[in-house]
Amino acid sequence: MTALRTSSDVAPPRRRTSTGVVMTDVAAVAGVSQKTVSRVVNGSSQVRPEVRLRVQQAIDQLGYRPNGAARALVTSRTHVIGVVGLGSALYGVAQHVMGIERAARAAGYGVVVVSTEEGDGDEVTEGVERVLALGAEGVVLVEPLFDASRHLARYAGTPLVTATQAVGEEQRVATVDVDQEQGVDLAVDHLVALGHRRIGHLAGPSTWRSGLVREQAWRRALERHGLPVPAPVRGDWSPRSGYHGMRELLAGERPTAVLAGNDHMAVGAMRALAEAGLRVPQDVSLVGFDDVPEAEYLPVPLTTVRQDFALVAERSVASVVELVERGGDGSRRVSVPVTFHPRASTGPAPVGGGRSA
């Protein structure tokens, strides 16, 4: 390893706090010019590896922090990603935003986050305007929008990452999302293999893209197997809505299995089944979606579809960075696979197919 230069012909820098260390201090310790330090800080390729290492060691030793505002003036770059997301404590949204922050930091970018209240198109447009005003070079949308084309068409020159094809082909956009359809297909195929023929659905809200995509995939999967498609019951992702939704399903012809729009709705459904005197999975099998941390530790461990939120965040950041740094026009799509995790909440269909409540 190349040692830092400490010979007597270089005067030691004045002792400062880490926030007071300047570029000339790093140059003095590393034995290079200030211009060389600037090149290293700004990621220039015009620096020999051994010199880059020496400068980086000096930066680490002194705790030097580049001045972002000054760097932006010199390079015309801010290295900031804007995130516009629903202000919600929902597991998926929170995991996505935190994952983006971690991935952006690893890529050398900062993050500014603007939260919306309802996630409607006008709010999203306002959020995009705000992060751009704060210096964001690209934007990642963590929103439930199903069709954002009317609201985002004006951002033809802005690198965007969305969860749905939201803009035209002429725009710089990447679509990054988990394979929702694959997850639903895996769940329905699993239940059909267990002999289930009446498979109900606790759907997510119709204002959310993921809720509608999962509902549509459930319908197509049942049709593919030649099974009847009962009317779904819609909730709002909460355990409470899952509880009341399951009670509504039980009021009609009882399903032998239920696919819940997410794990939290499945938790509420499990409570409603217990109150009705029905066992999981002997009387009704139950499948969730997300694989929240508590799913495996419920009284009846929940069969569920796992979304890799960290991987979605990494792919989102990689896509927006690619658009920012390498440009390019036209849309691209990244689909992140899901995994299926069968647990104790699913089992063979009851003999006789259950009964009406």
One domain for residues 257 and 268: yes
- 138 and 213, same domain (yes or no): no
Judge contact between 276 and 255, C-beta under 8 A. Answer: no
Whether 269 and 241 map to the same domain: the answer is: yes
Q: Which of 74, 95, 116 is the last residue of a domain?
A: 74
Please check whether residues 212 and 237 belong to one and the same domain. Answer: yes
* Residue 61 resides in a domain: yes
Of the residues 74, 95, 110, the one at which a domain ends: 74
**Residue in the block written with tokens 């012809």:** 253
Question: What pairs with residue 161 in β-bridges?
Answer: 140, 174
Same domain, 166 and 220: no
Predicted pLDDT of residue 326: 78
Structural domain contains residue 4 = no
Task: Tell me, yes or no, whether 9 lies in a domain.
Answer: no
- Give pLDDT tens digits for 333-345: 889 999 999 999 9
| Amino acid 18: pLDDT | 41
pLDDT (0 to 100) of residue 330: 54
Q: Are residues 191 and 269 in the same domain?
A: yes
pLDDT at 74: 53
Evaluate whether residue 131 is within a structural domain: yes
Look at residue 354 in the predicted model and tell me its pLDDT.
Answer: 53
Domain extent at residue 41: 18-74
Rounded to whole angstroms, the Cα distance separating 297 from 333 reads 35
The verdict on 163 and 297 lying in the same domain is no
**Does any domain span residue 240?**
yes
pLDDT at 70 > cutoff 60: no
Report the residue count for the chain. 357
CATH, residue 123: 3.40.50.2300
Total of domains in the chain: 3
pLDDT in tens, 302-349: 999 999 999 999 999 999 998 888 775 556 788 999 999 999 999 999
Q: How far apart are CA 131 and CA 168, in angstroms?
A: 22
- Indicate if 31 and 103 belong to the same structural domain: no
In a domain? residue 195: yes
Domain end call among 46, 74, 102:
74
Tell me which of 333 and 276 has the higher pLDDT: 276
Domain match, 155 and 227 both: no
Q: Which of 141-150, 294-303, 313-322 has the lowest mean pLDDT?
A: 141-150
2 falls within a domain: no
140 and 277 in a single domain? The answer is no
The strand ranges marked E within the chain are 80-86, 110-116, 138-142, 160-162, 173-178, 199-203, 233-234, 257-260, 285-290, 303-306, 331-336, 339-341
Residues 112 and 134 in one domain: yes
Domain identity same for 204 and 348: yes
Q: Compare 79 and 224 and report the one with higher pLDDT.
A: 224
pLDDT tops 90 at residue 81: yes
The predicted structure's pLDDT at residue 68: 55
Residues 196, 230: contact at Cβ < 8 Å?
Answer: no
Residue 199 forms beta bridges with which residues?
257
Please tell me the distance from the alpha carbon of residue 59 to that of residue 197, in angstroms, as a whole number: 64
CATH code, domain carrying 24: 1.10.260.40
Which pTM was predicted?
Answer: 0.76
Strand arrangement of the beta sheet that strand 138-142 belongs to: 110-116, 80-86, 138-142, 160-162, 173-178, 331-336
* 5 assigned to some structural domain: no
